[in-house]
């Protein structure tokens, strides 16, 4: 049991935050010998090992590759592959996606042309700037 010694008792938002912290703390078991330590739940020993983490990531990526089709091209730089993957998975941080993730924006309009909603299609295909770039690429 934790004891609290306050200079000034919290109220309002501070009290709400304190209650959230208390709820988080309640989920942990503290040792009685005075030696609390972090335990890593992904390994039986409770200790963090980069080799185990690398193995887990490799297993996860290989299982995802087995269940979904992936785009691999040895001629493209990795950052281009990542960009294409983000486009295919609708993971680019365009205005509408940021708003869906709860990020407070002044507007969801395209920051370049300000004429249309900043969707993925608009940003990559229909925006005046994108059309200019595509025109230069196709020359």
Which residue, among 43, 1, 47, has the nearest Cα to 22 in the 3D structure? 1
Q: How far is CA 96 from CA 20, 84, 107, 110, in A?
A: 30, 18, 9, 9
The answer to whether position 106 is within a domain reads yes
Query: Residue 34 above 60 pLDDT?
Result: yes
Number of domains in the chain: 1
The answer to whether position 129 is within a domain reads yes
The answer to whether position 40 is within a domain reads no
32 or 129, which is more confident? Answer: 129
**Range from 30-39, 41-50, 75-84, 117-126 that averages highest in pLDDT:** 117-126
**Range from 6-15, 38-47, 63-72, 113-122 that averages highest in pLDDT:** 113-122
The answer to whether position 137 is within a domain reads yes
The answer to whether position 118 is within a domain reads yes
Mean pLDDT confidence for 126-130: 90
Identify the domain containing residue 122 by its residue range.
73-139
């Amino acid at each position: 049991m934790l004891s609290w010694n306050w200079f000034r008792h919290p109220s309002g938002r501070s009290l709400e935050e304190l209650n959230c912290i208390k709820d988080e703390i309640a989920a942990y078991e503290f040792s009685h010998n005075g030696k609390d330590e972090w335990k890593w739940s992904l390994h039986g020993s409770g200790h963090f090992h980069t080799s185990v983490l690398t193995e887990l990531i490799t297993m996860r990526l290989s299982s995802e590759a087995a269940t979904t089709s992936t785009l691999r091209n040895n001629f493209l730089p990795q950052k281009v592959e990542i960009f294409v993957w983000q486009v295919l998975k609708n993971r680019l941080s365009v205005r509408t996606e940021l708003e869906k993730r709860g990020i407070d924006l002044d507007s969801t309009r395209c920051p370049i042309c300000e004429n249309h909603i900043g969707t993925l299609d608009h940003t990559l295909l229909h925006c005046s700037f994108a059309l200019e770039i595509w025109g230069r690429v196709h020359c």
